[in-house]
Amino acid sequence: MSRRDALLQLVTLALVVAGIGWLIANVADNLDRQNIASGFGFLNERAGFGISQTLIDYDEDDSYRQVLIIGLLNTLLVSVLGIIFASVLGFLLGVGRLSRNWLISKIAMVYIEIFRNVPLLLQIMFWYFGVLRNLPSPRQAINIGDVMFLSNRGFALPSVSFMDGAGFYGLALLAIIVTAIGLRRRARKLFLATGQIVAFWKPLGIVSLAVLLLAGAVAGLPFAADIPSLRGFNFRGGMSVIPEFVALLLALSLYTAAFIAEIVRAGIMSVYQGQREAAAALGLSHNRALSLVVIPQSLRVIIPPLTSQYLNLTKNSSLAVAIAYPDIVSVFAGTTLTQVGQAIEIIFITMMVYLLLSLLTSWAMNRYNARIALVGQN
Amino acid sequence: MAQPIVQIRQLNKWYGNFHVLRDIDLDVAQGEKIVICGPSGSGKSTLIRCINRLEEHQEGTLMFDGEEIGDGTKSLEDVRKNIGMVFQQFNLFPHMTVLENCALAPMWVLQMPKAEAEAVARKFLERVRIPDQADKYPGQLSGGQQQRVAIARALCMNPKVMLFDEPTSALDPEMIKEVLDVMVELGDEGMTMVCVTHEMGFARQVADRVIFMDAGEIVEQNNPEAFFANPQNERTKLFLSQVL
């Protein structure tokens, strides 16, 4: 590096530092003049507003810190469920798109083209304002078998409470899980040792039934269903799912599924036809060829863009603010910010939360991807 | 005389309107080694791909080991496990090691225990002279080595017939010999082989019969000496003058 270059770089650096310093000083000055405090002390103050969906205990006397946690949990709830639904639906659609059945393939195509070409915000509004808000009022709610009620206030669903003896059913469930793991291990061991392909679902079904009957014989049916019923203008009892949540979850899942479907289709198509032929020529059945040869290879193409879709879904959940679903943006970067006014701290915290969520997701998916990467090829 | 292992009668196949195979009659006897040659697009690959039904034919009959292969075949898997196939592009499974490639079908199709399947795999890797590459992945091997693994993988199923679909066409010249040597040995051991290839030296050395195909028909067939020394058909003469 010549002296002139070095000098130039020093000057540039000095200008950047000076610029940032000026910005900070300016912000501090302005905040001072408007009597807005800085720092994170506000997190301990009383929030004083209600939230329509809280996964943990909350009331208006709780602090803004609690609001942050509630918002984060609501974001996580809709994102995790959305990722699960979008993945399942997307996988089915992607495989369906490649189906030799004309009808299935065309249905998948029409679905994909509609859902991926309409803006997500519009889809959220469609489900919320167009569908769920237009359901009848609670008094005229759509009644599904006297236990579920759909109205413009949301879905009232029955909930189950456990009484004495429910623990036996917990034990039964544990026994079933242990049996399933044991059977899997045994099947694998037998397969490797003798080449036999052993039944799995049938013995598991028999054991499950026996264990559940046993639990029933010992403890009876220690469950009570809490069925919602109309009291005044709304439903009481049971479990209530707010329409904002349903609309957001539907829109996020259906929209992202269309993209995942294309990713899955591309992944499967990327596996060279010769791989299928080689598997078939060896006598492997269609399904075995798919599970042993095609899918493992398509995963390495599917995983990286799938990760992006998971990140997109999580970040897109912030559109919740449009229909007032109480996610982190809505209750923290929205209501809290309006009340406290400390934009820098609040936006910073919110951004860090999303960044952290995204980095965690990427990290997990990258680890998985590294495990299935091909050796000796790029 | 024993029944031929492959018996093809009046086989016809179309791709849309394009008539790829015309009235093919072909018997392959147990232990026979057949080389099929012909210009590209003559239908020779399509013909051997019909034998294990990677391609479907529309007319005629195709019998393998006494069983008809067609729409009515109950278990195509049961037929295919007895027919080994080696492809031009090797088609090894890139996500599995060489050993896993070879042991896969014996485990999942023949239901062999893993230890036994791996022993079989190692035996055939030894035969194709790459036992030391067993734990590598296909992407780490040269083309010639990959094709030898592909041959070993097919042999692990103990097939009754081996089909070779231009096994050396995708190889660099210096690797062709190592693959042909393995194929010559296989022929010497009495394996029934149907090879689509342009390696006329191999045809001379190994084949019991050379078949020349053009435009979807079998134009001429003869033992290698007569075929090369005294071709009858004009098209055969033209082809031979171009490849020899």
Contacts of B109 in chain A (CB under 8 A): 282-284
- Average the pLDDT over A331-352 and give the result: 93
Q: Are residues A81 and A20 both part of a single domain?
A: no
Residue A100 lies in a domain: yes
Handedness of CA A28, A32, A35, A40 (dihedral sign): positive
Q: Are residues A259 and A338 both part of a single domain?
A: yes
pLDDT score at A23? 92
189-218 of A, contacting B, C-beta below 8 A: 191-197
Q: Are residues A354 and A283 both part of a single domain?
A: yes
Q: How close B200 comes to chain A (CA, Å)?
A: 26
- Average the pLDDT over B176-198 and give the result: 94
B240 touches chain A (CB under 8 A): no
Q: How close B60 comes to chain A (CA, Å)?
A: 22
Contact A196 B111 (CB under 8 A): yes
B107: nearest CB among A195, A277, A280: A195
Which helix (DSSP H) or strand (DSSP E) does residue B234 occupy?
helix B234-243
Residue A215 lies in a domain: no
Phi/psi region, residue A241 (left: phi>0; alpha: psi -120 to 50; beta: rest), is beta
Residue A164 lies in a domain: no
Residue A268 lies in a domain: yes
Contact A193 B80 (CB under 8 A): no
Residue A45 lies in a domain: no
Pairs of residues, one from chain A and one from chain B, whose beta carbons lie less than 8 Å apart: 96
Q: Give per-residue pLDDT as tens, A222-268.
A: 787 788 888 877 788 778 899 999 999 999 999 999 999 999 999 99
Binning pLDDT at 50, 70 and 90, where does residue A376 land? Answer: low
CA separation for the pair B222, B236 (Å, rounded): 11
B189 touches chain A (CB under 8 A): no
CA separation for the pair B129, B184 (Å, rounded): 14
Domain count, chain A: 2
Residue A285 lies in a domain: yes
Q: Are residues A272 and A365 both part of a single domain?
A: yes
Tokens representing B171?
Answer: 């190889």
Count CB-CB contacts under 10 A for residue A223: 13
Closest listed residue to residue A169, CA positions, set A136, A133, A218: A218
Q: Which domain holds residue A319?
A: 64-118+250-377
Contact B109 A292 (CB under 8 A): no
pLDDT score at A222? 79
Q: Are residues A22 and A70 both part of a single domain?
A: no
State percent of chain A over pLDDT 70.
98
Residue A154 lies in a domain: no
Q: Give per-residue pLDDT as tens, B199-243.
A: 999 999 999 999 999 999 999 999 999 999 999 999 999 999 988
Q: Are residues A21 and A75 both part of a single domain?
A: no
A195: nearest CB among B76, B78, B113: B113
Q: Are residues A12 and A106 both part of a single domain?
A: no
pLDDT score at A144? 85
pLDDT score at A361? 92
CA angle, residues A54, A58, A63, in degrees to nearest 5: 120
Is pLDDT at B178 greater than 80 in this prediction? yes
Residue A95 lies in a domain: yes
The answer to whether the complex's ipTM is over 0.90 is yes
CA separation for the pair B164, B28 (Å, rounded): 14
pTM (two decimals): 0.79
Q: Are A268 and A94 within 8 A, CB to CB?
A: yes
A275: nearest CA partner in chain B = B91
Q: Are A240 and A155 within 8 A, CB to CB?
A: yes
Q: Are residues A24 and A71 both part of a single domain?
A: no
> For tokens 């069925």, what's the residue?
A227
